[in-house]
Structure 1
Amino acid sequence: MTVTGTARPPTGTPRSTARRLRAFFAERAPARVYVGYAVLWVLALQGVLALLGPEQNWRLDGSLLTEIVTVFLALLFIRVVDEQKDLEYDRVHNPGRPLPRGTIDVRELRTAMALIVLAELALNWWRAPLLAGWLLLDLGYICFLVRLEHWSATVRNSVFVNLLVSYPVQAMLSAHIWLSFRDATGSAPASHALLGAVLCACAFMHYEFARKTGARVVPGATLYSNVVGLRGAVALTMGCALAGTALALAVIRPWQLHGVALLAGWLPLTALGFLWGGAERFASLRPPTWPPQPAMGYLAWLYLGVFVAALAVVRPALGA
């Protein structure tokens, strides 16, 4: 991974490096967002797997907590690599970010990458070598993407091609959550994992398309609306949310439930309120891009709804 021309802060002690890294993560990977995303992603996907089972062995225990920490650290790793990969673009479009403005340097970011890899190995090897190996494969692919963008102008400049080659990072993390679930419960067919991964993909793609849908063409910006037009990008944004909600309901089948489970089963449907709110704000106020807060709200609420439904239907033995 080669990044040149970055302003470098003065070389300091490990303590000063740690301080700059803390400031970097506080700015570019806020804990409330990244921890929340990791928690809800793992709980929702494992909830889907339990609902499709149903797996009575599913537990909210140390293995699940370890998987949440694993996914959180992987998200931090992605953020660190993306900061380096996007440096040239950020110099033009986002010069106030830490790396372009020189408040952190590449050496320090790579130190963080190495520490994350060591922590991930320590967290996963004791559970199963397969979990550690699969995670290393995913982290290695993340680093490979930096070289791929350097080699290929098409990958670098085409927003849809870039999405096609970069989304496997998320898909492989979903597969890791499945492998963790299988290791903990002793079963989980690959077909169940595929359905859960598609549901998570729809939720993520809603956010991805939303945050890069603009009301007007912005030359040089990585907006999907620059390629397929405003209507096309809005259709992709809304279509992914509708598909994700439909899949969640197909997994839960709330119309077959009763009592508290019935109420919990319909909870994912209410996530469409965030879709409505985002669409209304974008249509009436015409901000430069689709407001990201409702899009993230949709993803979080859908995941929460799936998890709550799984608790109500499967009723795992908490902490057992």
Structure 2
Amino acid sequence: MSGTVRRLYAFFAERAPARVYVTYAVLWVLALEGALALVEPGDARWMLGVPTLAEIGTVWLALLFIRVVDEQKDLGYDREHNPGRPLPRGSITVRELRLAMAVIAAAGIVLTVWRSPLLTGWLLLDLAYICFLVGLERWSRSVRDGIFRNLAVSYPVQALLSGHVWLSYRDATGAGPHWSAAVPVLLCACVFLHFEFARKTSHRVTPGATLYSNAIGTRGSVGLTVGCALAAAALALLVVRPWQVHGPAAAAAWLPLSALGCVWAGGERFAQADARGATWPRGPAMGFLAWFYVGLFVAALSVADPGLTV
């Protein structure tokens, strides 16, 4: 058992480093909750406390679960294109990864069941859907090989997690359901899709690689990458309405739009890169996601003025 623990620790350190996955979970939850506080009507007060920390932990565990399942789902592809990854090279086994899935699911239940049975059920639905995708890709070649079809069936995993954050926000604040919550959820979709399209956009067609540019060309893939970032910025304007903010909070209200600088930098570096298979630089794509979420959270703190609890 100790050997299994060591191998799993090494696997997560390599394939799901805490500095990336924990940071993403923290920023996603804080930004989405902040945006919800700005658009949800009523007197419910947004508070940063134990429920928020529990939700960050829940989202982080779900991200780890996704990583573990993807490693198994992509094993055939990785044997050919990424043989150095842990599963193809034999440093971890499928059985050990499935053990990790069970532990992660149990920890997720612990973090949700004391808050709301609905949160537990929603989380289990998301985890079950992630597992369903493995069978779907094995059964359907069009889903497995069609990158846009694959995105269409796999993105709901992220949407369900955003829905989980919304349900957690409702449970913590007492806010009722309202259509306005769809705007922050859509905003998060655009932020994620910018990164998704960016990391799979290349200067040229690469046979066998899972690239959006293989399907619609470089210009089309760049258009989707930039378009998603612009759509996220437009939705942030709709959520924050910085033109209505005055005083010291005004600068913070415009902060999310400054993340577009990362998109500009990424586009410049991509345009100047060697055309021999170069992809959109990962750093600016990740930078946009992180800085946008930081800006949205800071804007929400400044505009919504929530109470802070522990």
TM-score after normalising by structure 2: 0.97
Q: Does 1:23 align with 2:13?
A: no
Find the partner of 2:89 among 81, 92, 101.
101
CA distance in 2 between counterparts of 1:16 and 1:22 reads 10
> Shift in Å at residue 188 of structure 1?
4.3
What is the aligned partner in structure 2 of residue 251 from structure 1? 239
1:175·1:193 contact (CA, 8 Å) conserved in 2? no
| Aligned residue number for residue 242 of structure 1 | 230
**Corresponding position: 1:205 with 2:181:** no
One-letter amino acid matched to 2:229: A
Displacement of 1:250: 1.4
Q: How does 1:151-300 map to 2 (within 5 A)?
A: 151-286=139-274, 288-300=278-290
Q: In the aligned structure 2, how far is the partner of 1:109 from the partner of 1:220?
A: 26
SS at match of 2:248: helix
CA distance in 2, matches of 1:306, 1:188: 22
**2: CA distance, partners of 1:117 / 1:88:** 25
- Residues 1:114 and 2:102 aligned together: yes
Structure 2 CA distance for aligned equivalents of residues 204 and 131 of structure 1: 23
The number of aligned residues is 307
Aligned to 1:187, what secondary structure does the other structure show?
coil
Give the secondary-structure state (helix, strand or coil) at the position aligned to 2:209.
Answer: coil
Confirm or deny: 8 A CA contact 2:44 2:175 kept in the other structure: no
Distance 1:188 1:36, change over 3 A: farther
Does 1:303 pair with 2:293? yes
Q: Does 1:50 find its partner at 2:40?
A: no
Indicate the residue corresponding to 1:319 in structure 2: 309
Task: Check the 8 A contact 2:40/2:181 in 1, yes or no.
Answer: no
Sequence identity percentage = 66
Separation in 1 of the partners of 2:181 and 2:100?
31
SS in 1 for 2:48: coil
Q: CA deviation at 1:285?
A: 1.7
Distance of 2:2 and 2:147 partners within structure 1: 39
Deviates more, 1:45-54 or 1:66-75: 45-54
Q: Pick from 12, 28, 34: which aligns with 1:41? A: 28
SS at match of 1:100: helix
Change (3 A) 1:299 1:102: same
Match of 1:150 in 2: 138
Aligned mates of 1:154, 1:171 — CA distance in 2: 22
SS state at 2:225 partner: helix
The 3 A distance-change label for structure 1 pair 190 and 166 is: farther
- Note the C-alpha offset of 1:56: 4.9
RMSD: 1.0
1:194: Cα distance to partner?
A: 1.1
Q: Deviations over 1:229-268 (max 9, x none)?
A: 0100000000000100111111101111012210100000
Instruction: In structure 2, list runs of 5 or more residues that go unmatched.
Output: none
Q: Which residue of structure 2 lines up, in the alignment, with residue 5 of structure 1?
A: none
1:83 paired residue number = 71
What's the TM-score once normalised by structure 1's chain length?
0.94
